[in-house]
Amino acid sequence: MTIDYDVVIIGGTLAGRYAAWSATQFKARVALVEPNVSQEPIKNSIKNYTFTQTSKFLQKLSNLPGFGIDALCSETKELSETKEQCQILWDWDLATLYADGIFTNTHQQLSLTMLAAQGVDVVTDKGQFQISPNLSFVVKDRSLRSRSYLLATGANPAIPDIEGLGTVGYVTSLNIWDLFIKSQSTPPRNWTILGGLPQSIEIAQILVRLNCQVTLILEHPYIFSQLDPEIALLILAELEAEGVRILQETVVTQVRQIDGKKWLQAGDKAIETDEIVVATAQQPNIESLNLAAVGVKWYQNRLLVNKKLQTTNHKIYACGDVMGGYSFGNIANYEARIALKNALFFPISKVNYRSIPWGISSQPAIAQVGLTEPQAKRRHSPKEIIVLKQYFKTLTKAQVQDEITGICKLIIRPNGEILGASILGKSAGEIINIIALAIAKKIRIKELSSLSAIYPSYSEILVQTAQMWEREKLNRNTGLKDFLENFFHFRRSWKI
């Protein structure tokens, strides 16, 4: 069989485009098949971040007197009276145009035009695998033959099987802001969000800051399982403080429309709402690829892959949320790098998520890397785990910017090895990168405690937390404490 390509990437996501660009840097011959050129999932993540930041700004406008700006408040009533006033000033068309512009600017390098200029054979159509006479990916009448293939088709919201939901109607994270644009004169005021995906937090905060009534329904007692439990409780408390009604361990059994209103049966409660947001799970985009015919297996919403990111057909690899799980761009790109190396060269590289951080664009922001406290205690003896905590209220910059809600947790071993970190607070996504590097390079906690962070800055929280290690180490070593006390007592008795 004649081999046309070194790798064929079935994309539709930024991770797929990133993999195609990376393959050209290795001088490989690559084809990129995009069955869906829409980048709405990525655009919507940028919209969520942009709208969250903007809603926080509008929220602070109502508190301008607290910053000593009474004159502006008295002269500009439309900016200061209530959150309702702030909502009137929100132009959804301009806000969306701004977010789309950010997407275009930041991802220009990975546009299809630029990839084609780099030598990528771009095919914008649907296709499917076939195994006879040889494994190939067929797009219309064209058969793309390659030594390996990479699935990077992403995922879309999975819709739960709830009686009446399809009839009554709903929105997802992909089209919620389109609804606001279409009906901004009279947007829905009462919202119910089903599920605890990361997008749920972001959407709930944006809506409640626009003076909407928001109910968040969680089937489990936690917001999502990978998050440190203490951080999860704090972010739920923050949502409730902002006005979000949260129902935990509650299952929605049916949805109905009565007198023009949508009603949900949630546990033993009947909830009236104007609109329903579904954010319960992700469904991989694999329906039309004919994977079963080429021996690729999946279970529920997850592709079966090994640590080399090979599917059950070892010539076919996968990366990103097409494999299942949450959607984080940096993790998808990391997986794309591992899968691509294995696909192009020898399959020896394995994924290791221990030093790969992830975050949520909530306010306060959430970021995490490595093991959480419960995970560390399950993997190691609880006596071998030390948890260091410091709060953002101790930071000068947090006080000045009124961003004092936050906590930094470091999980370490007695020898100073860093096992993980969880951060809730302003700039958490920036701070976590330092810890991720420390874990990846096996830098001990004492090295972080010796950093001299710029004052004032949010990075100080990391140094302050790390410096607690020295105190903890001293408290555990009674012999050293006695020695130091005796030493300084003896030193004070010296005659100068």
According to the annotation, is 431 in a ligand binding site?
A: no
Rounded to whole angstroms, the Cα distance separating 67 from 335 reads: 45
Helix (H, G, I), strand (E, B) or coil at 215: strand
200 is in an annotated binding site: yes
Answer yes or no: are the C-beta atoms of 251 and 267 closer than 8 Å: yes
Does the annotation place 456 within a ligand binding site?
A: no
Helix (H) or strand (E) holding 465: helix 460-476
Instruction: Order across the sheet with 275-278: list the strands.
Output: 171-172, 275-278, 190-194, 213-217, 245-247
Is 199 annotated as belonging to a binding site? yes
137, burial (CB in 10 Å: exposed 0-12, middle 13-18, buried 19+): buried
**Is residue 401 marked as binding?**
no
Q: Is 197 marked within a binding site?
A: yes
On whether 198 is known to bind a ligand per the annotation, the reply is yes
Long-range contacts of 62-65, Cβ-Cβ distance < 8 Å, separation of 24 or more:
62/86
Phi, psi of 298 (to 5 degrees): -145, 160
Residue 176 has what DSSP assignment?
H
HSE-up (13 A, CA, CB side) for residue 326: 19
Strand partners, 264: 255, 271
DSSP-based helix, strand, coil % in the chain, nearest 5: 40, 20, 35
Distance CA 229, CA 151 (A): 33
Residue with tokens 């220009």: 108
Contact partners, residue 364, CB within 8 Å, separation at least 6: 235, 238, 392, 403, 405, 406, 424, 425, 426, 428
Is 196 annotated as belonging to a binding site? yes
Locus of tokens 């439309």: 78
Instruction: Indicate the residue type of 239.
Output: L
Annotated binding-site ranges for NAD(+):
195-202
Query: Which segments are annotated as binding site?
Result: 127, 195-202, 321
Tell me the binding residues for FAD.
Answer: 127, 321
